[in-house]
Structure 1
Amino acid sequence: MNYKEKLIVALDYDNLESAKKTIDELKDEVEIFKVGLELFLNSYGKAVDYIHSLEKKVFLDLKFHDIPNTTFAASKFAIEKDVFMFNIHASVGSETMKKVAELTKNKSQLAIAVTVLTSLTDSNLNEMFSTTKTTKEIVSQLADLAYKSGLNGIVCSPLEAKSVKEKYGKNFKTICPGVRPKWAAKNDQKRVMTPYEAIKNNCDYIVVGRPITKSDNPKEAAKLVLDEIKQAII
């Protein structure tokens, strides 16, 4: 894998024109862009088409979470849009994950599972579920379900990536938000690493948004992140 393909730039915009401006500025450096709910809805899905028109890859980050038939139909839509990667919540359960995994069998697209959002902490999970389990334990449990269901990998924080790879092998992908260069603010991310640290900790893909897209010079910021990735894999 080319080191540039380890970076996914998150396009967190509420309109297509702003996203296009950033895509055009970064297209010589960045191979994969993430389209989440905000941009997908506000652009009526056209952001995906625009990225594809430039022969770049799309991570469709819509986090499908519903009953089996609905999640299956949504996943089928993502595959028909020819996105490189899309995700569902692991908390939909193994029945749904198995159905989605069958959809991507023998296809180039990656279907991955969201475990625990990187904005959540142990205390948040205790508040929601009255559990004494740690974030790491819950991520591990959901990752195990995703792996056994046949999905291609999980979304997790960079802190959990190493243990996931050690347990499930190199073909089970780790897609990691919560990556912040030292020169960038953490914002609402709690469990973070730098790009260099994340790649060293076995993250297959790192997702970086605001440190690049909100920078005064997005192209230069992307280059700095890519330099860290390159140094980590040498």
Structure 2
Amino acid sequence: MEAEAATLRASVAAHASAMVKMGLEFTYAQGLEAVREVADGLPLFLDLKLHDIPNTVASAIGSLARVRPAMLTIHASGGRAMIAAARRAVDETFPEGARPLLLAVTVLTSLDAEALHETGVESDVADQVVRLGRLAVSAGADGLVCSPHEIRLLREALGDGPVLVVPGIRPAGSAAGDQKRIMTPAQAHAAGADYIVVGRPITRAPDPAAAAAAIAAELSA
């Protein structure tokens, strides 16, 4: 985990990343104090994907004030009451001007139609993403986490208001891994992503800072 933390800071130091992203693996292994130490004043995308009953999610958000995230994730599938409770907790917990963007995860990028159907959802992936996107934004989410394949559908359904944060990004030639719905950084940018999320192609590269810088250069071009 120390190597992962160094990688995160190296990518930002190379001016190739807008913020540091930390999720379940690092937070569970090292705790919130380590999250705060690694971020060290840099914008923090805290990707914990909270999903529980409304009161529990609200209480969990209350405990996150000390790390001051710029973005925070919940699962849209937690339902309207949970999303609304999360929004109230964000508004009440963080000082004015320091409130993180509340982002609702629609359908995980590791899921395709077959995997989604196995969970009991009969809709196809695109319909489910739009359904959850509408629900989340109407309940108070600032934006959504979606695969690059659903960017245009969400823009058509919801307009330019919601912030779209897009994982499932793989530079040309990178292994897809467990991601099913992927695009290159340039393709996602062209489709209308506000932020792209790149993990393993950077953290597992021989030179992570150089890999991050190459992605930034692709986006600039």
TM-score normalised per structure 1: 0.86
Distance 1:79 1:223, change over 3 A: same
Cα distance in 2 between the residues matched to 1:24 and 1:154:
25
SS of corresponding position for 1:83: coil
1:86-123 CA distance string (max 9 Å, x none): 11111111011112223344653101111111000101
**For 1:62, which of 48, 52, 59 is the aligned residue?**
48
Distance 1:70 1:193, change over 3 A: same
1:149-185 CA distance string (max 9 Å, x none): 1210111001111221232232301111100000211
Cα distance in 2 between the residues matched to 1:101 and 1:24:
29
Matched, 1:186 2:199: no
1:102 corresponds in structure 2 to 88
Distance 1:125 1:220, change over 3 A: same
Q: Give the AA of the match of 1:20.
A: A
Cα distance in 1 between the residues matched to 2:100 and 2:64:
9
2:128 corresponds in structure 1 to 138
1:114 corresponds in structure 2 to 105
2:197 corresponds in structure 1 to 207
The answer on whether the counterparts of 1:178 and 1:207 sit within 8 Å (CA) in structure 2 is: yes
The answer on whether the counterparts of 2:109 and 2:181 sit within 8 Å (CA) in structure 1 is: yes
1:34-81 CA distance string (max 9 Å, x none): 11111101112233212332x311111111111110011112223442
Cα distance in 1 between the residues matched to 2:35 and 2:43:
9
Q: Give the AA of the match of 1:207.
A: V
Number of aligned residue pairs: give it. 214
Unaligned runs of 5+ in 1: 1-14
Cα distance in 1 between the residues matched to 2:9 and 2:125:
38
1:6-34 CA distance string (max 9 Å, x none): xxxxxxxxx2x112321342232223111
TM-score normalised per structure 2: 0.91
SS of corresponding position for 1:27: helix
SS of corresponding position for 1:61: strand
SS of corresponding position for 1:211: helix
**For 1:40, which of 19, 23, 27 is the aligned residue?**
27
Q: RMSD over aligned Cα, in angstroms?
A: 1.5
Distance 1:140 1:81, change over 3 A: same
The answer on whether the counterparts of 1:79 and 1:109 sit within 8 Å (CA) in structure 2 is: no
SS of corresponding position for 1:20: helix
1:18 corresponds in structure 2 to 3
Q: Give the AA of the match of 1:167.
A: A
Unaligned runs of 5+ in 2: none
